[in-house]
């Protein structure tokens, strides 16, 4: 089981491990170094389709992880709605994996996840 948590949510993984002590070794925490929202900026075409009336910055996919506040950039690119999480979810469903593969942090996460899945005999 892979559990996503931010740096301030470490207790979430520990609580689940305590609840399932027999499977605690199979619980893999996923802690992003940067906010994964930045990854959605890697696919310029998906961003353009999500916000066709807005001008969007041309980002080089490998550089999106350098953005200090990706949520603010996404919110502005998608029109600054009051509930940007709705737009983030919609955009996240259309981002092409080929484009995400150009983001070093995404490639590392994928490689680490595959390695752990292989270690757990899931691959």
CA distance 116 to 27: 10
- The reported pTM is 0.63
In this prediction, residue 12 carries a pLDDT of: 82
Task: Give yes or no for residue 69 having a pLDDT over 80.
Answer: yes
The 10 Å Cβ neighbour count of residue 118 is 10
Nearest to 3 by CA among 88, 84, 116, 97: 116
Split at pLDDT 50, 70, 90, the class of 76 is confident
Q: Show the DSSP H helices in the chain as ranges.
A: 10-19, 44-50, 70-77, 84-92, 97-100, 104-119
**Tell me: the pLDDT tens digits for 21-62?**
998 888 877 766 556 778 888 888 888 887 665 555 666 788
């Amino acid at each position: 089981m892979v559990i996503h948590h931010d740096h301030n949510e470490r207790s979430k993984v520990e609580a689940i491990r305590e609840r399932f002590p027999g499977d605690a070794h199979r619980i893999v925490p996923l802690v992003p170094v940067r906010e994964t929202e930045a990854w959605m900026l890697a696919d310029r075409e998906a961003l353009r389709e999500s916000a066709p009336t807005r001008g969007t910055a041309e980002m080089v996919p490998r550089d999106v992880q350098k953005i200090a506040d990706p949520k603010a950039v996404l919110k502005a690119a998608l029109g600054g709605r009051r509930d940007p999480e709705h737009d983030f979810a919609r955009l996240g469903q259309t981002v092409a994996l080929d484009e995400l593969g150009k983001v070093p942090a995404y490639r590392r996460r994928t490689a680490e996840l595959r390695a752990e899945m292989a270690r757990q005999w899931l691959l």
